Structure 1
């Protein structure tokens, strides 16, 4: 993607919560101790499918916010990240950005995209300029999923009560620490695997290891055991993520429970762990005869999450099944980057 030639103050927003995340990020950036006022905004999201969502300027809240912050709306230029190889794009973007020392970059990631932080922090360590920042967008839980919340104190011509309600909301940017490589290392070009490993230690989750033959799952020193049915279900979801091979595409390996053929995929795996002539298999096969029932799918997702929480505690979130996207377009999968997933024997297709 070709960038502007003049010095830029660029805001990149990685989120599924568009366009609300754009306004929340812009507001939070302007409220920092050293305000960051961008002249270029890039949107990193799979949800941006039309001009209304792509361009926050179309929102009735855009002009009031710019007026409140003293921004010239004509100076803000929008770009939408829509590329087939987003991993490559991110590295190229950062390299291009740092060519001009007058450029400044603020990259904001909200909770829907936190899975990319380990890789993004490594790329920042290698390619970013001293003035660049990587931040997490923090919004009050009460308002985080509110589809009509954009930023504290937003003007709402349709609802005075809602305007008063949102005025008490808290939105802020939390700095993400990363190890910036020194100039000598950069100049020498000696970016080794050891260096990359060190830069990712602050945020990188541990490797997820699946032992198909033993029906065991391992995260660090922890061993997770589940029933054959739940193990087959988790094995199936993890393999979808692993085969996607793509870290920066948010829905790579994610599926909808009612996608055609998904129940057959799962049964093919479950058959390896349960006798086809057993009552357990017959019961499952009958239940999935017309595809995954919604309640059945969600029950398995919930049981797996409970099991991981019991064993892993606070770090379980990186390994459980999550949803992505809005209602009627929701998909499910594992956020863990593919390179942190490994299968030890028993799965020759991976």
Structure 2
């Protein structure tokens, strides 16, 4: 079942892009009309659009035989919190980026509708920012587009869509042009959907922060175990761990750096050897109390239940800290019981171990 359509359109001083987009959407074998229209514009753009757009939408609706919704206005604000009349400074551009991103992110949170984002209007910088925003937030079913129109009819106050029947319009340089020659075309623009790389919410934050969050997810994962600080860095996320889980992670990280096989053991001798390895790592992170508890637990060699509980605890902490971005850092359980093995799947070059000041 097709979901309702929300048209999100950029507009400067030429609100015609809204009706031109809707007219194009109504053409073809699978016509779609918006149930909701939101116009992102400046203060100056709204003054023009408020006068021209509502009557044009009513006329277009009458021609199409369907009542079109009246537009909702989403105004760009500047550094002082006031409405922007234009984007002329670096600060204006930064705040416009935040406002456009917030509008797009908020629209995509509505799971009951598809978004059609038109970047035909407004300044070029607005279109570039909106295209990047839909790339960060867009879902399957969301569309990015631009309207192409005959230059002779571009931005005219007497042309909002091709009327039926066509009309003759006078050209400034003399002569006339028929609206039948508008050549109105909706050009859909493919875009890469990065929504899965971060978690947009109703308080999505600044545009630059969202770009950084997505970029961090796309960057190769890196793990740093800081023994001195008793914490780890998962990419850029700092996480403090209790001494025993930290020691287990240190052990697994050192094995991964040495390209050792997954932790698996057969027989008492192998269990004893692995217990000694584990205790040596714990001695660098744990105090006497925690280390003593580990020695008692591993007195007969490495126990599967002991390691499984610590791995589960580590993975839970990573997921709570990073959500979906935790995936590369999780400790993997491989093979079937009772031969399950454990390993940190990061490549050796992605792991750093920082020792404490005593060089232990």
Normalising by structure 2, we get a TM-score of 0.44
Q: Which structure exhibits the higher relative contact order, with contacts defined as CA atoms closer than 8 Å and separated by 6 or more residues?
A: 1
- Structure with higher Rg: it is 2
